[in-house]
Amino acid sequence: MSEDVPPSPDDLALLRTYEPVLRYNGGELFYPMAVEGYLAECDVLAGTGDKDRRVLVPKGEVTPERLAAATAGHGESLYLRFVQQPLGRVELARWQLRSDRVVFRTPGRLSRVGLFARLVDAGFTASLLLRGTVPGGTAAAASIKYEAIRARDQRYAYHARVLRQDGWVVLHYIFFYAMNDWRSTFLGANDHEADWEQLFIFLDDTPGGPVPAWVACAAHDYTGDDLRRRWDDPTLAKDGTHPLINPGGGSHAAYFEQGDYLTAAPVPGLSRLRGPLALVRNFWHNTLRQPDPGDLAAKLEGSLNVGFIDYGRGNGLAIGPGGDAEWTPIPIDDGVAWVDGYRGLFGLDTYDRFAGERAPAGPKYNRNGSVRQTWHDPLGWAGLAKVAPPHRASAVLEDRIAALDAEAVALDREIATSGEELAAADLEVRALADEVSLAALHARRLEALRDAEDAQAARRRKRVEIGETARASREELDRIKAGDWGDPRAHLAHEHHPIPAEESRYGLLVEVWSAVSVSLLLLATVALIYLGILSVWVTIIVVIAAYAFVEAAFRRRLTLLLLRLTLLLAAIGTIVLAVTYATQVLVVALVVLAVIILLDNVRELRGR
């Protein structure tokens, strides 16, 4: 059961007690704000594309009530627009050169990834020319508008609500930003107007009062269990009762640990390669007795990481208790007009078919108008629907053990009865076997006997499983009663850690090479093919080989590359020999097999 209630003074106190401290990057342009101030600067539009869009509510007239009442036609998109006029080139240059600008400095992201990822990145950049994207100068214009709003309203605000579900008290913190400027300010994947980020604190609703148990944040590429950290997890930094969270630069995605995070691009069909790659690994390591190459599928996946980095360094403004500025909480629930009544987008709709540059809808709704899981089922979203609140865990487990014990007793009884029936049936079948005229009946009874025998074996197997489960559950119960909740990270299938510092430090030459290498690669390929110096395939091989050598030399891995190349050539040589001498190889293999079988049989013969 879910029940939304307007925060009582107690709930507000809970929200304040556990409100997080958000530590931003230096150079961040947008911070959490109240929605009302944003709405005052927006107009409301509807349309099916750039050409037919029309203003439904002009700027200055947008109120939560008018927003809730706004509707679009069939097939049309309904959306807010924060920036009516992006900055022109000259204005943008002037804005970028302003004296008070905090410049975000970082090692080149492309130096941290390989050739394939750089090619994917080049493809991504090219795709921006074809996709619907936020126009250039929008982030700058949004920043100017945001600063104007802040001049009128200096609050750093979060919206929040408190839910009570299944023995949990859920503190739902929602942070609204005027813009996600990850691409234009932090070299990330996308820009879009309006940005919602969410953080949940799950309190164990004990009779003695709520006790913090879990923290969950929305993060790129992660779902369910991987979204949350246990309150006693050492990687969850806290200042008293306040979790310390590091929003990504421009993207505002939340990270528990400070650092730079490489985002992974899911590669379609990679899961199908896991089996064959495991076979290759087994053959290489166990049959050829070569060093273990490790999980090849994971390595392949790692090498395909696209070079977008989310910077969660936490080296800029800190908002929250003990930080540079305090929060202003704004309670929301289903009774708030802009929350419940408006299903459109909260910023510009670019009609980007990949959706990355489209603004999000509100805190309650997805872009398609359906209710977000974070709104109606935060426990399920964080993978906690299956987790008993700690204060109930002992009782839940005791009930389960009692049920298992009862099931075991009933099964024991059933096994005893079935055992007697089985013995009687066996004697009956034996009796029928002696009568030739009853052969058909004997066959039927024999078959039934075998089925009954299988069923009895299944019962005994189940009985053992129940016994083992009950024993393990009792041990777990003892641990829980002793306050031992086990490894705080045991629920995590994928741990997301920042890039190690030593992988971020490369010299200037490597940085420059990383930035220009893909362009050089393409130009060299085109030139060699166009000038007819080499054939297409030889050109591609030569250019890639030259690229690999330069790359390895810059990273001081030339010897490693040459050794790997030797193994690759040896593998190719093996294939060449196997294909060239296929008949001879087959003949030799068959002769060896025949000799082995002969020796084995002769040994058996001599042993008689």
Q: In whole angstroms, what is the distance from residue 405 CA to residue 568 CA? A: 59
What is the distance between the alpha carbons of residues 548 and 557, in angstroms, rounded to a whole number?
10
Nearest distance from C-beta of residue 243 to other proteins, angstroms? 29
Q: Provide the minimum distance between the beta carbon of 571 and other proteins in the complex, in angstroms, as a whole number.
A: 8
Residue of 209, 293, 335, 419 interacting with other proteins (CB under 8 A): 293
Among 402, 522, 576, 591, binds other proteins (CB under 8 A): 576
Q: Are 334 and 372 in contact (CB under 8 A)?
A: no
CB of 295 to other proteins, least distance (A): 11
Do 80 and 36 contact (CB within 8 A), yes or no? no
Instruction: Name which position in 569, 588, 595, 596 contacts other proteins (CB under 8 A).
Output: 569
N-to-C CA span, the chain? 75
The one among 292, 324, 399, 454 contacting other proteins by CB under 8 A: 292
Q: Are 253 and 218 in contact (CB under 8 A)?
A: yes
Across the chain, how many H-helices and E-strands are there?
Answer: 18, 17
- Given a contact cutoff of 8 angstroms between Cβ atoms, the answer to whether 351 and 77 are in contact is yes
CB-nearer residue toward other proteins: 99 or 559: 559
- Asked whether position 532 contacts other proteins by CB under 8 A, the answer is no
Q: Which of 129, 436, 482, 570 binds other proteins (CB under 8 A)?
A: 570
Q: At what angle do helices 558-580 and 536-554 cross, to 10 degrees?
A: 150
Distance, CA of 109 to CA of 113 (rounded, Å): 8
Nearer to other proteins, 58 or 507 (CB): 507
Give the nearer residue to other proteins in terms of CB position, either 209 or 294.
294
Which residues are within 8 A (CB) of 65 and not within 5 positions of it... i.e. 6 or more apart? Answer: 337
Q: How far is the CB of 525 from other proteins (least distance, A)?
A: 18
- Under rule CB under 8 A, residue 563 binds other proteins: yes
Q: Single out the segment in contact with other proteins by CB under 8 A; choices: 33-41, 123-131, 411-419, 558-566.
A: 558-566
Which residue type sits at 95? W
Q: Which is nearer to other proteins, 88 or 573 (CB)?
A: 573
State the binding string over 165-204 for other proteins (x if CB under 8 A, else -): ----------------------------------------
> CB of residue 507 vs other proteins: minimum separation in angstroms?
12
Q: Are strands 77-81 and 43-47 parallel, antiparallel or unpaired?
A: antiparallel
Using rule CB under 8 A, residue 462 touches other proteins: no
The set of long-range contacts for 128-132, using a CB threshold of 8 Å and a minimum separation of 24, is 131/350, 131/352, 131/353, 131/354, 131/357, 132/50, 132/350, 132/351, 132/352, 132/353, 132/357, 132/358
Alpha-carbon distances of 470 from 281, 405, 412, 466, rounded to whole Å: 39, 7, 15, 6
Q: Which of 290, 370, 417, 601 binds other proteins (CB under 8 A)?
A: 290
Of residues 419 and 500, the one with the C-beta less far from other proteins? 500
**Could you give the 3-state DSSP secondary structure of residue 214?**
strand
Interaction between residue 516 and other proteins (CB under 8 A): no
| Binding-site string for other proteins from residue 404 to residue 443, where x marks contact by CB under 8 A and - marks none | ----------------------------------------
In the bound state with other proteins, the residue whose beta carbon lies nearer, of 288 and 458, is 288
By the rule CB under 8 A, 509 interacts with other proteins: no
577 in contact with other proteins (CB under 8 A): yes
Would strands 242-247 and 21-23 be described as parallel, antiparallel, or unpaired? parallel
Q: What are phi and psi of 201, to 5 degrees?
A: -120, 125
Instruction: Give the Cα separation of 43 and 271 in Å (integer).
Output: 45
Which two structure tokens, joined as six digits, stand for 372? 């977000």
**Candidates 156-164, 263-271, 283-291, 416-424; binding stretch for other proteins (CB under 8 A):** 283-291
Helix, strand, coil % over all residues of the chain, rounded to 5: 50, 15, 35
Among 65-73, 129-137, 221-229, 561-569, which window interacts with other proteins (CB under 8 A)? 561-569
130-149 residues near other proteins, rule: CB under 8 A? none
76, amino acid identity: E
Stretch binding other proteins (CB under 8 A), from 133-141, 291-299, 348-356, 490-498: 291-299
Is residue 479 within the footprint of other proteins (CB under 8 A)?
A: no
- Residue from 303, 417, 574, 601 touching other proteins (CB under 8 A): that is 574
Beta strands in 422-534 (DSSP E): none
Least Å distance between CB 565 and other proteins? 6
Please identify, among the stretches 54-62, 88-96, 330-338, 569-577, the one whose residues bind other proteins according to the rule CB under 8 A. 569-577
DSSP E strand boundaries for 228-342: 228-230, 238-239, 242-247, 254-255, 259-262, 309-312, 318-319, 327-331
CA distance 269 to 129: 27
| CB of 8 or CB of 574, closer to other proteins | 574
- What's the closest the beta carbon of residue 517 comes to other proteins, in angstroms? 19
Q: What gap in Å lies between CA 441 and CA 444, rounded to an integer?
A: 5
Instruction: Tell me the one-letter amino acid at 232.
Output: D
Give the SS3 label for residue 59: coil
Task: Decide: is 448 part of the binding site for other proteins (CB under 8 A).
Answer: no
Q: Which of 294, 322, 419, 507 binds other proteins (CB under 8 A)?
A: 294
Q: Which residue stretch of 87-95, 266-274, 452-460, 570-578 sits at the interface with other proteins (rule: CB under 8 A)?
A: 570-578
- The amino acid at residue 522 is L
Does residue 572 belong to the site contacting other proteins (CB under 8 A)?
Answer: yes
495 binds other proteins (CB under 8 A): no
How far apart are alpha carbons 243 and 212 in whole angstroms? 11
Q: CB of residue 566 vs other proteins: minimum separation in angstroms?
A: 3
CB of 284 to other proteins, least distance (A): 10
In the complex, the smallest distance separating the C-beta of residue 296 from other proteins, rounded to whole angstroms, is 11
Is residue 507 helix, strand or coil? Answer: coil
- Contacting other proteins (CB under 8 A), which of 3, 420, 484, 502? 502
When the beta carbons of 118 and 281 are compared against other proteins, the nearer one is 281
- Please say which residue, 278 or 562, places its beta carbon nearer to other proteins: 562
Q: How far apart are CA 102 and CA 404, in angstroms?
A: 63
- Beta-carbon-side half-sphere exposure of residue 594 (alpha carbons within 13 Å): 6
Please give the structure tokens belonging to residue 50: 């750039």
Please say which residue, 417 or 574, places its beta carbon nearer to other proteins.
574
Residue ranges in contact with other proteins by CB under 8 A: 288-294, 502, 538, 555-557, 559-560, 562-567, 569-570, 572-574, 576-577, 580-581
